[in-house]
């Protein structure tokens, strides 16, 4: 059987890295991109190979549509196709709406929403041609509640947009054997937040504890499996019932 090929954005660290290492243990070929985390990317590529996978680490700013096209073309030329696109990249910052800058506002949409559109457009022709493919993007556990978010306004609007885009892509691509789904994490210990901040949030989580990267990886593993072949346009919350 031919090895499966995944393209993971933001794959050098955090949840993206966890997904890459899990796929490596099942001998996938893994292309992943990073924007500035070159040292982490080298380490992740080494670990992928140690686990039995093949690695291709590429620098790319996925908010740049031209760079995205080059990224996808590079992977398809190198390995022939892309079986799974996992949109793991996504900037985040906390700032009151009236202190937000135009640059900061645009960064949230460019990195969290627009990039998924660019990548979907780029990988769709190849996936349509092979009549198969999986696309997974990341939302936020309570973004679908449409609540006021004074300190993370642009980020939450972008994540709500991810859900609409996911459903739209699912409807368009389902006739071609392609599934498009979202995963919406709550508080996950992915290394991006200080431990004390996570600990303070525990009391707000009905399950009573912070999620792990492995919890999110398990959802990705399911969506990439044949067990999920008829799951399309879904949003899986990984939050211990927080945000619902």
Q: Tokens representing 230?
A: 């008829």
Taking the CB of residue 101, how many other CB atoms lie within 10 A of it? 9
Task: Judge whether 209 counts as a catalytic residue.
Answer: no
Catalytic residue chosen out of the listed positions 156, 209, 222, 230: 156
User: What CA–CA distances, in Å, run from 235 to 75, 162, 163, 238?
Assistant: 27, 10, 7, 10
User: What CA–CA distances, in Å, run from 156 to 9, 13, 17, 135?
Assistant: 20, 22, 23, 21
CA distance 4 to 225: 11
Q: Tokens representing 118?
A: 């660019």
Q: Are 238 and 139 in contact (CB under 8 A)?
A: no
- Provide the annotated active-site residues: 156
């Amino acid at each position: 059987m031919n090895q499966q090929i995944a393209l993971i954005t933001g794959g050098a660290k955090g949840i993206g890295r966890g997904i890459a290492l899990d796929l490596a243990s099942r001998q996938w070929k893994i292309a992943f991109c990073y924007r500035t985390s070159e040292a982490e990317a080298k380490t992740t590529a080494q670990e992928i190979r140690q686990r039995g996978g093949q690695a291709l680490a590429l620098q790319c700013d996925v908010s740049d549509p031209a760079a995205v096209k080059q990224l996808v073309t590079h992977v398809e030329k190198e390995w022939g196709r892309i079986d799974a696109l996992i949109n793991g990249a996504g900037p985040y910052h906390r700032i009151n709406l009236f202190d937000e800058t135009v640059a900061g506002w645009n960064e949230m949409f460019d990195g969290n929403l627009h990039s998924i559109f660019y990548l979907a457009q780029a990988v769709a022709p190849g996936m349509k041609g092979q009549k198969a493919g999986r696309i997974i993007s990341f939302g936020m556990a309570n973004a679908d509640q449409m609540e006021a978010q004074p300190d993370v306004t642009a980020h939450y609007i972008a994540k709500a947009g991810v859900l609409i885009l996911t459903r739209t892509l699912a409807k368009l691509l389902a006739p071609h054997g392609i599934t498009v789904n979202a995963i919406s994490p709550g508080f996950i210990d992915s290394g991006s937040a200080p431990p004390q901040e996570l600990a303070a949030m525990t009391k707000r989580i009905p399950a009573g504890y912070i999620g792990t990267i492995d919890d999110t990886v398990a959802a990705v593993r399911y969506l990439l499996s044949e067990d999920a072949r008829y799951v399309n346009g879904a949003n899986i919350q990984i939050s211990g019932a927080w945000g619902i």
